[in-house]
C-alpha cells in the first residue's frame, strides 16, 4: 500500500516537489496508462487544497468523424462531461492549442463548459508526447483565481513527467 500524505504546512514549492516525487514513484514502473492517470488524479486531489475536480481528459478519435476529441479519463470529483471537442471550453482550447490555460474566472471564458456549476476557476495543462497532445490535466476550483503561474509551472512539470507514462 502507498501512503503519500502531504503536510498542509508545506510551502507550495515543496508541496509540488513532493507531489512530483509521489507521481514519479507511482507511475515509474507501471505501463498501464489508466492506472497511472487514476493514481495521479488521487494524488492531485490529496495534495492540492481548494479543488472540486481533478483529473484527465484523453485524446481519442471522435465518434462521428475522423477528427480527434477529448474523452473523460480518471478523475476525482463530481461526474463530468464525457466528450469535449477540440477548441471548445477550457479543456478543448488547451488540447487544440497545446498551451496551458490558466483561467481566473471560468464564467468569463468564451465557450466555457459548466460540468460543475460550483467551479469558478480552472487550470488545464496539455500532456504532450512526440509533439502531440495526448491528454490534458484538468483542475477546477470553487474559488475565483485559485490557480497561479506557480501552479501552472508545477502542473506542467507533472505533465512532462507523465508524457511517456499515459
pLDDT digits (tens, 9 = 90+) for 55-75: 999 999 888 777 899 999 999
C-alpha cell at 117: 456549476
Beta-strand ranges (E) seen in the chain are 53-61, 68-77, 83-85, 101-103, 121-129, 132-141
Question: Which of 21-44 are b and which e, b meaning 16 or more Cβ less than 10 Å from the residue's Cβ?
Answer: ebbeebbeeeeebeebbbbbbbbb
Domain covering 12-162, topology: Beta-Lactamase (3.30.450)
The yes-or-no verdict on residue 1 having pLDDT over 70 is: no
Q: Mean of the per-residue pLDDT values for the chain? A: 93
Find the mean pLDDT for residues 93-107.
Answer: 96
C-alpha cell at 95: 488540447
Read off the pTM.
Answer: 0.94
The yes-or-no verdict on residue 106 having pLDDT over 80 is: yes
User: Beta strands 101-103 and 53-61: pairing type?
Assistant: unpaired
Q: What is the DSSP letter of 52?
A: S
Amino acid at each position: 500500500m502507498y501512503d503519500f500524505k502531504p503536510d498542509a504546512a508545506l510551502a507550495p514549492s515543496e508541496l509540488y516537489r513532493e507531489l512530483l516525487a509521489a507521481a514519479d514513484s507511482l507511475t515509474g514502473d507501471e505501463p498501464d496508462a489508466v492506472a497511472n492517470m487514476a493514481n495521479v488524479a488521487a494524488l492531485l486531489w490529496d495534495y492540492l487544497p481548494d479543488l472540486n475536480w481533478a483529473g484527465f481528459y484523453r485524446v481519442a478519435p471522435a465518434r462521428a468523424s475522423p477528427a480527434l476529441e477529448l474523452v473523460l479519463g480518471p478523475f476525482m470529483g463530481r461526474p463530468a462531461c464525457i466528450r469535449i471537442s477540440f477548441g471548445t471550453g477550457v479543456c478543448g482550447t488547451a488540447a487544440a492549442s497545446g498551451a496551458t490555460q490558466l483561467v481566473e474566472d471560468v464564467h468569463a471564458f468564451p465557450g466555457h463548459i459548466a460540468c460543475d456549476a460550483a467551479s469558478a476557476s480552472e487550470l488545464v495543462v496539455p500532456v504532450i508526447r512526440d509533439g502531440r497532445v495526448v491528454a490534458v490535466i484538468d483542475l477546477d476550483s470553487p474559488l475565483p483565481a485559485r490557480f497561479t503561474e506557480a501552479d501552472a509551472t508545477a502542473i506542467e512539470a507533472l505533465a512532462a513527467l507523465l508524457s511517456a507514462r499515459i
